[in-house]
Amino acid sequence: MRNILGLYVGDAESSKYWLSVFNELKNRGLKDIMIICADGLTGIKESINVAFPNTEYQRCIVHQVRNTLKYVSYKNKKEFAADLKSIYLSGSEEQARQNLDAVSEKWSEKYPNSLKSWYTNWDCIIPIFKFSPETRRVIYTTNAIESLNAQFKRLNRNRSVFPTKSSLEKALFLSVEKI
Residue 152 domain-assigned (yes or no): yes
Structural domain contains residue 175: no
Q: Are residues 94 and 113 in the same domain?
A: yes
Helix (H) or strand (E) holding 107, with range, is: helix 93-107
Are residues 130 and 65 part of one domain? Answer: yes
For residue 29, what are the domain limits? 15-59+141-166
Task: Let me know whether 50 and 98 are in one domain.
Answer: no
135 found inside a domain: yes
Q: Is residue 154 part of a domain?
A: yes
Q: pTM of the full predicted structure?
A: 0.79
72 and 134 part of one domain: yes
Q: Domain count of the chain? A: 2
- State whether 124 and 156 are in the same domain: no
Closest CA to 58 of 41, 82, 73: 41
Asked if the structure places residue 32 within a domain, the reply is yes
DSSP H or E run through 47: helix 44-51
Contacts with 9 (C-beta within 8 Å, 6 or more apart), sequence order: 165, 168, 169, 172
Section 16-42 average pLDDT: 91
Q: Which range among 36-40, 85-89, 146-150 shows the weakest confidence by mean pLDDT? A: 146-150
Query: Residues 102, 90: contact at Cβ < 8 Å?
Result: no
CA dist 13 and 9 (Å) reads 10
What average pLDDT does the chain have?
Answer: 88
For 33-81, how does the pLDDT look when each residue is reduced to its tens digit (9 = 90+)?
999 988 888 889 999 999 999 999 999 999 999 999 999 999 999 999 9
pLDDT at 114 over 70: yes
Q: Are residues 128 and 149 in the same domain?
A: no
**pLDDT, position 179:** 61
